[in-house]
């Protein structure tokens, strides 16, 4: 079986995030997957904790809109919504520029760094536009750091 390129893994991962496909996200995550949230000082360790956060998210998960993937090789693509996105990259480190629309109508922008290992997403680091306090409701699923 041919191993997918890192670009294909990142694109599949972001597509699963956009559609809310938690099972596909789980498949694309490395067994030692983590996500760091520097502004709130949290570290989500493991897919099960991320799934629990998604399933308990107050008001339901936000939807993801415009996504830009950044790496070292420049390409342009058209997404299914006909929004032109800049796609660049190679190797095991990728950036994504994400627009998030919450159910209350608020819009946030995030920058996500993806680090790949074994054709899976090994580590994510998500930077939000503003710093925020870590919400108490998810404390049982995260570690405090920083």
Q: Domains of the chain (ranges plus CATH)?
A: 6-144 (3.10.450.50)
Q: What mean pLDDT is predicted for residues 85-108?
A: 73
Question: What is the pLDDT, as a whole number, of residue 73?
Answer: 52
94 close to 116: Cβ distance less than 8 angstroms: yes
Look at residue 104 and tell me whether its pLDDT is greater than 80.
no
Question: What is the pLDDT, as a whole number, of residue 85?
Answer: 36
Question: What is the pLDDT, as a whole number, of residue 107?
Answer: 77
Question: What is the pLDDT, as a whole number, of residue 108?
Answer: 78
SS3 127: strand
Q: What mean pLDDT is predicted for residues 90-112?
A: 80
97 close to 114: Cβ distance less than 8 angstroms: no
Look at residue 94 and tell me whether its pLDDT is greater than 50.
yes
Question: What is the pLDDT, as a whole number, of residue 146?
Answer: 56
CA distances in angstroms from 66 to 17, 29, 54, listed in the order given: 12, 22, 20
- Range of weakest confidence among 23-32, 72-81, 86-95: 72-81
19 close to 64: Cβ distance less than 8 angstroms: no
Q: For residue range 53-84, what is the model confidence (pLDDT) as tens digits?
A: 988 988 777 766 655 566 555 454 433 322 22
The rounded distance, in Å, linking the Cα atoms of 18 and 124 is 16
% of the chain beyond a pLDDT of 90: 41
What order do you get walking across the sheet with 93-101 strand by strand? 74-78, 84-88, 63-70, 93-101, 107-117, 120-128, 29-37, 42-45, 142-144
**Distance from the Cα of residue 123 to its chain's centroid:** 10
84 close to 78: Cβ distance less than 8 angstroms: yes
């Amino acid at each position: 079986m041919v191993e997918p390129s890192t670009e294909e893994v990142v694109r599949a991962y972001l597509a699963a995030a956009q559609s809310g496909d938690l099972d596909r996200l789980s498949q694309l995550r490395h067994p030692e997957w983590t996500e760091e949230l520097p502004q709130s000082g949290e570290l989500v360790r493991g897919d099960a904790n991320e799934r629990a956060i998604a399933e308990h998210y107050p008001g339901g998960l936000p939807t993801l809109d415009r996504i830009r993937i950044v790496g070292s090789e420049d390409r342009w693509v058209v997404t299914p919504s006909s929004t032109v996105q800049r796609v660049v990259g190679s190797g095991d480190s990728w950036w994504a520029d994400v627009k998030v629309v919450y159910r209350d109508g608020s819009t946030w922008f995030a920058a996500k760094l993806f680090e790949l290992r074994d054709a899976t997403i090994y580590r994510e680091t998500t930077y939000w536009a503003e710093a925020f306090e870590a919400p108490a409701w998810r404390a049982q699923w995260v570690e405090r750091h920083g």
